[in-house]
Amino acid sequence: MQKTIALDAMGGDHGPKVVVPAGLQVLRKYSDLNLIFVGRKEIISPLLQQTGADVSHRWQIHHAADEVGMDESPGLALRQKKDSSMRVAINLVKAQEAQACVSAGNTGALVATSRFVLKTLPGIDRPAIIARFPTLSREKEVRILDLGANVDSSAEHLCQFAVMGSVFAQAVDNIPNPRVGLLNIGEESIKGNEQVKQTAELLINNKSLNYIGFIEGNTLFEGKADVVVCDGFIGNISLKVTEGVAHLIAHYARRAFSQNWLTKLAVLPALPVLARLKKQVDPQRRNGAILLGLTGIVVKSHGRAGILGLASAIEEAILEIDKNIPRLIEQGLEKR
C-alpha cells in the first residue's frame, strides 16, 4: 500500500536542517512511502537539491509561508497562523492528501490545531498523548497517557484514555489483553485524590478493559502494567521529571569520573559499554509520541530531536497508518 506522510518541515528546535535529512533517510528505507515537506519552499528546496534520483519522485514540497513559534500560545497559533507549516500539514491529513502528519513543533499548538482541524472520534471528548517507556523487564515497555494534551481531565476523560491506550497496546504493539493501571500515590484503594478515586470506579466497571489497579511512580518502570493512565498535568510532570533525573545522574557520573587522572583512567576500559548503554536508554531511539483520539494520525516528535529521533517519529507514523489506529479506537469504543 502506498502511503503519504505530511512533515511539518519548520517545526522543532532545528527545523528543516533535521526534518529534511530525516525524511530522506526514511524514504530510502520504505519504497512505498511518499513525503510532503510542508514549509518555506526557499529554505526546504536547497536542502533537497542533492537528493538522489532513487527517491526524488517520492517527495514534494508544499509551500507554507508561516511558522508556529515554540513558545507561542496555542490559542493564538490556532487563530492567527492559518498558513503555518504545522496547520497546513494537518490540513493535508484532513483533505486526505496525507494519511498522517509528523511535527516536532509546539506541543500545545499541535494539540489545539489537530483537535480543531481533525476533530475527535465519536465517543472521545479529548485527544491524549501516548508514548512508550522502557521497563526493568527486557521485552516489555510501558505506555503512558496522557502526557500533556490536556489538564484537569474528568474521570470520564481518563476512562476514555484507558480505552484508547488499551486499543493502542493491542493493535499497534500486539499485546493481547493489555494490563491497564491507574497512576496513584499508593496501591491501596483508600489512597489518591478525588479524580483518581472516581476514575478507579469507572475503570473497575468497564468490562472491555483488563484493569489491574493502581500503579505508583516508583513501579511505573517495573513492567507491571502495559498501559498507565493519568491526567495530562501529572503525566507531563512525570515525563519531565524522568528527563531531569536521567540528566542529573549522568552529570554526577561525569563529575565522579573526571575528578582526577586516576578516575579518568578508570573509565577508559568501560567506555564502549557506556556508549552502548547510552544508546539503549537514549530517548531519541524511540522518539514519537502519538496523539490518540483524533480522526487522523498525528505524531509529535521531541522538539530537540536530531535526525535519528525525527526518523524514528516518521517510522512511528508509518506503523500507525499500517494499523489504521483511528479506526481501531473507534471500534474499541463501540465495544464498551
Residues at the site binding a second copy, with contacts judged by CB under 8 A: 71, 73-75, 108, 134-136, 138, 148, 151-152, 183, 185-186, 188, 190-194, 196, 216-222, 232-234, 236-249, 251-253, 255-257, 259, 263, 265-270, 272-274, 276-277, 280-281
Least Å distance between CB 84 and a second copy?
18
The partner residues of 210 in beta bridges, in order of sequence, read: 179
Least Å distance between CB 24 and a second copy? 31
Q: Where are the alpha helices (DSSP H) in the chain?
A: 16-29, 41-48, 53-56, 74-80, 85-94, 107-118, 155-171, 194-204, 232-257, 261-267, 271-281, 307-323, 325-335
- Measured from the CB atom, is 204 or 281 closer to a second copy? 281
Least Å from the CB of residue 37 to a second copy:
28
| Closest-CA residue to 35 (of 87, 84, 79, 99) | 99
7 and 314 in contact (C-beta within 8 Å)? yes
| Closer CB to a second copy, 65 or 265, in the complex | 265
Distance CA 315, CA 287 (A): 9
Q: What share of the chain is helix, strand, coil (3-state, %, to 5)?
A: 50, 20, 35
How far from 130 is each of 177, 217, 221, CA to CA, in Å? 18, 17, 15
Taking the least distance from each CB to a second copy, the nearer of 6 and 110 is: 110
Query: What's the closest the beta carbon of residue 143 comes to a second copy, in angstroms?
Result: 16
Task: Report the candidate in 164, 144, 148 with the shortest Cα–Cα distance to residue 156.
Answer: 164
φ/ψ of 178, rounded to 5, equals -60, 135
Residue with smaller CB distance to a second copy, 52 or 272: 272
Nearest approach, Cβ of residue 230 and a second copy (Å): 8
Task: Kindly state the smallest distance separating residue 205's Cβ from a second copy, in Å.
Answer: 23
Cβ distance to a second copy smaller for residue 134 or 306? 134
For a second copy, give the closer residue by CB, 38 or 291. Answer: 291
Q: Angle at the Cα of 81 (from 326 to 97), degrees rounded to 5?
A: 40
Cβ atoms of 90 and 118 within 8 Å: the answer is yes
